[in-house]
Amino acid sequence: MGELFDNLRLGFATALSLVNLALCLGGCMIGTLIGVLPGIGPIATIAMLLPITFNLEPTGALILLAGIYYGAQYGGSTAAILVNIPGEATSVVTVLDGHPMARQGRAGVALGIAAIGSFIAGTIGTLVVAGLGVPLSEVALWFGPPEYFSLMLLGLSLAVVLAQGSLLKAGAMVLLGLLLSTIGADLETGQDRLTFGFDDLSDGLDFAVLAMGLFGFAEVLRNLEGSEHQPKIESRIGRLLPSRADFKQALGPILRGTGLGTVLGILPGNGAVLAPFASYALEKRLADEPSRFGKGAIEGVAGPEAANNAGAQTAFIPLLTLGIPPNAVMALMVGAMTIHGIIPGPQVITNRPDLFWGMVASMWIGNVALLAINLPLVGLWVRLLRVPYRLMFPAILVFCCIGIYSLNNRPGDVLLMAGFGLAAHCLYKFGFEPAPLLLGFVLGRLLEEKLRQALVLSRGSFLPFVARPVSCALLLVALVVIIVALLPSVSKKRAEVSLS
C-alpha cells in the first residue's frame, strides 16, 4: 500500500507540472470537440497530431494524446444525446435512452449524468490501473480465441435484451450487422468479399459511415416525414442538471457499469466495445420496469456511459504493462512512444516509472478536467436544441458529410452513408431497429477472427469451446440470456412494447 502511495505521489508530481497540466487540458478539450463532431474520431486526430508531439517530452506527448482519447468518449455521448448520432462505437447505446431523454426536455439531466457517471467510472478505473494493472494484465492473457468467441456470442445474445420489438427482427438485424462486417478484404487471404467490385469497399465499412447513415441520415429523414417536419421536443427545458432523485436512481447502474467496463477494457482486441451494451442489457434486466428503457430511462444512460469510460481507462493496462495495444487508438500511442524512444513493453513500468505513474495520475486529472469542461457546457448544448429544426438538420447533414469525408478522403464514403441512411429509413418502416445491427457490425470482425483462429488451433473441432472453463461459462450465460428472453412471460411484455 505504501508503495502505491509513493508511486501515486510521483505520478501526481509529474502530471501536475505546468506543461503537463496544460497538455492534459488541451487534449481533453480537443477530444471533446472531435467527439461531439460526427465522423471525426480520435484516431484521425491523434494521427494528425503525432508530428506535433515530436517536440514534447514523451510523458507530455502521451498525456496530450490520452486526453484526446477520453475527451472523445465524453464528447461522443454529447452528440448521442443531443442529435441521436453515436460518435463512436461506444456511444451507440447512449442514443437509445439519451436522445429520448433530450426529447422530453431532460437533455441537461442526461448530459449531466453522463458526465458525472463517467467521472466516477474514470476515478475507479484509474485506481484499478494503478493498483491492479499488472496482475490484471496476466489475467487478460488467459483469453484465447475460444474464450473471445464465446464472449462475442454472449455480446450478440445481449441484442435480444437490447431490442424493444420483435425478437425475430432483432435477430435478423444482428445477422445483417454481422454480414455487413464481413465486407472487405478477408483477413487471411486478402480476397475481397461482398464488395460488388468496388475498390473503395476493400477496407471494409467504416463504423462511422454506418452509424452516420443509420442514425444521422435516417433520423433526419424520419423527422422530416412527420407533419410538423421536426422532432417532437418539449419546449420547456426543465432542469439543467440531475436532481438528487435522478442521482440516486443512477448510482447503481454507474457502479455496475464501471465494473463491467473495467473488466472488459483490459481484454486486448477491443473487448471494451462490448461494455456499454452489456451494461445496458444488465440494467434493463435489473430494472423493475424494463418497459421504460428505450423511452428515456436514466439508467440506460448512466450505466453504459460509466462502462465505456471505465473501459477507456483500463484499455491502457495492456498497453502500459505488456506493450500490446488493445485497439487502434492505443496502437497510435505505441507509435508515439516508440518515436520518442520508449518502446512499450513489460519493462516500461520499472524503467520509466515517471511515465507510467504520470500517465495514471493524468488519467484522473483528465477526468476532473472533462467534468469541469462538460458540466458548464450542458447549458450551451441544451440551448442548441432550441435552434429551429429547419436550420439544424442541414447543419447536421453537412457536418456528417464533412466528418465522413475526412475519414478517408473518399467521396464514395459520403454516398455510402446516404445509401445507408435511405436503407435504414426503409428498414425502420418495416419495423426493424438499428441498434442490434450496429451491435452485430461492431462485434462481427472480432467474432469471425476468433472463430477462425480457434478452429485452426483445434484442427476443426468445436470441443475447446465447451471444454475450456471460461469459454464454457460465457456460453452458458449467453444461453441463459436467450432462454430468459424467450420465456412466454417476457415475450408477452415485449409485444406490448413493440414499435407501432
Grid cell digits, residue 46: 491523434
CB of 391 to another protein, least distance (A): 6
C-alpha 32/C-alpha 311 separation (Å) is 17
H or E stretch at 332:
helix 328-339
Q: Please compute, for residue 19, the number of CA atoms within 13 A of its CA located in the half-sphere on the CB side.
A: 11
Beta bridge partners, 185, equal 192
C-alpha 167/C-alpha 95 separation (Å) is 20
CB contact set of 391 (below 8 Å; sequence gap of 6+): none
Q: Determine contact, residues 31/313, Cβ cutoff 8 Å.
A: no
- In Å, how far are 155, 206, 357, 447, 474 from 453, measured between CA atoms? 19, 23, 36, 10, 18
- DSSP letter assigned to residue 105: I
CB of 469 to another protein, least distance (A): 15
Nearest-5° angle of CA 122, CA 400, CA 102?
55
Chain Cα centroid distance, residue 442: 10
Residue closer to another protein, measured from CB, 82 or 297: 82
Residue closer to another protein, measured from CB, 173 or 481: 173
Chain Cα centroid distance, residue 90: 1
- In Å, how far are 99, 123, 291, 308 from 230, measured between CA atoms? 14, 39, 25, 31
CB of 151 to another protein, least distance (A): 15
